[in-house]
Structure 1
Amino acid sequence: MNFFIADTHFFHADLLGWNDFAPRLFASTAAMNQAMIDAWNARVDANDVVYHLGDIAMNPENVPDDADVLAILAQLHGRIVFIKGNHDYRSLFKYLHAHDPKLNGQDKFSFHDVGAIIKENHKQIFMTHYPLMMGIVHQTLNLHGHIHHSSVHTATNINVGVDAPERDFVPDLPWGSPLNMRDIETIARGKADVLAKSK
C-alpha cells in the first residue's frame, strides 16, 4: 500500500507550543519525534511505500547530526521515497543513501529532487513539495506539503503535511499519521464539498 506525508520537521524545536505556523503541543522534540514514529508505525508495515513530500528534519543548524536523522528514519516501517523540500539538503540525501539500512535486501530509501507521479485508483497523483497550480484537470490530484497549517483553495490540491488543515476531514487519525489513498479521496471529496458551498 502507498502512504503519503510531508513536513515531519523532526527536531524542529521552534514548532513546539502554540504558534500561528504549525503548533505542535509537545514538551520536547523527543516527544514530538516519538509521536510521529508511533503514528507512522501503527499504519505502515514493511511491505508499504511511504512518499515523504519534503522537509524531513529542520535545516542543519537545528539537527545535531545526519546520523540522528537516520536513526529516526531507520525506525520507520516500510520503504520511503523522499521528494526534496526546501529544508532538505543534498548532503543529507547522500548520507542517507550511503547508510541505507536496507529492507529485505532492497534500498529502504529512494530520492527525487522535484517530484514524482504515480497512478492509483484511476487517478494521476502528482507529488511535489510545493503546491502546483494545475488548472482544470480530471482524475488528477496534486499531493504536496510546504504550507503547513494552510490550504490551497482548490479541491485537487491536497496538503498531506503533518500540520495540514485537510487532516480535519479524517479526524480519527492520530497526529503525524501518513495518509493512504482512501484518506486522500475522503479529503478530496470533503474539500470539494466545502469549496462548492463557499461559492
Structure 2
Amino acid sequence: MQFVTSDTHFFHSDLLGIDNFAPRPFPDVATMNQTIIDNWNARVGEHDIVYHLGDIALYFTRPPRKSYEAVYEVLCQLNGRLELVKGNHDSRALFKYLDAHNFMVDGHAKFTFHDVGILLKYDHRQYYLTHYPMMLGIAPQIVNLHGHIHHYSVPTKENINVGVDAPEMAFLHPQPAFGTPITFAEVEEIIAQKTAALAKQN
C-alpha cells in the first residue's frame, strides 16, 4: 500500500506547546517523536511505501553528524520504504548521510531521494507531490499534494495539504492520529470533502 505525509519535524523543540505558528502539545521532543513513530507504525506495514513531502526533522548539533545519526535512528524505526522529497529544512548533508547508510527493504532502498517532487498517477488522476504548494490553476485531473504551510490550507480543491498538522485532516472521519500517514483513497476523500466545503462558501 502507498501512503503520503509531510512535515513530521522530528526533534523540532520550537514547535512544542501551544503558543507558536504550528503548535504541538507535547511535553518534550522525545514524546512527540515516539508518538509519531507509534502512530505511523500502527498504520504502515514493513512492505508499504510512504511518500514524505519534506521537513523530516529540525535538529542541529555540533558536530552535525550527531544530528544526522539521531534522525537516521528515528527513520529506521518507521515501517515501510520512504520516498523523501526535500523540504526547506532538509539539508543535502542529511540526505547524503541517509544515502551513505541506506539499506535494502524487499529488494529496494529504504530511502529514495527527490530534490523537487514526484509525479504519480492514481485512478485516472495525476498527483504532483511537492514540499511547497504549487498553483496549478484549473486542472480537474491534476492535484498538488504538499506540506510546508502546517495549519494553513490553500483555498482551492487542487491543493491538498498532507502535513501531519494540516487542517485537511479534519475532513477524514475518524481523523487520523497525529503523525499517521494517509492513503491515496483518503486523499480522494479529502478532495471530495474540500470541494464540497469550498462550494458552500461561494
Distance apart, 1:11 and its partner CA: 0.1
Alpha-carbon distance in 1 for matches of 2:97, 2:47:
24
Match of 1:73 among 72, 75, 82: 75
Paired amino acid for 2:15: L
Paired amino acid for 1:198: Q
Paired amino acid for 1:54: G
1:181 alignment partner in structure 2: 184
2:2 alignment partner in structure 1: 2
Alpha-carbon distance in 1 for matches of 2:139, 2:108:
36
Alpha-carbon distance in 1 for matches of 2:59, 2:166:
20
> TM-score if structure 1 supplies the norm length?
0.96
Cα distance change of structure 1 residues 19 and 183 upon mapping to structure 2, 3 Å threshold:
farther
Distance apart, 1:59 and its partner CA: 5.0
- Equivalent residues, number: 199
Matched, 1:194 2:197: yes
Asked whether the equivalents of residues 11 and 29 of structure 1 are also in contact (C-alpha less than 8 Å), the reply is: yes
2:43 alignment partner in structure 1: 43
The RMSD of aligned alpha carbons is 1.4
Paired amino acid for 2:33: N
Alpha-carbon distance in 2 for matches of 1:142, 1:132:
6
Kindly provide the CA deviation profile for residues 35-85 of structure 1, in whole angstroms up to 9, marking residues without a partner as x. 110111111112211000000001535985200000000011110000000
> TM-score if structure 2 supplies the norm length?
0.94
Asked whether the equivalents of residues 151 and 164 of structure 1 are also in contact (C-alpha less than 8 Å), the reply is: yes
Query: Where in structure 2 are there 5+ consecutive unaligned residues?
Result: none
1:161 alignment partner in structure 2: 163
Asked whether the equivalents of residues 11 and 57 of structure 2 are also in contact (C-alpha less than 8 Å), the reply is: yes
Asked whether the equivalents of residues 59 and 88 of structure 1 are also in contact (C-alpha less than 8 Å), the reply is: no
1:103 alignment partner in structure 2: 105
2:17 alignment partner in structure 1: 17
Q: Once the two structures are aligned, what percentage of the paired residues are identical?
A: 53
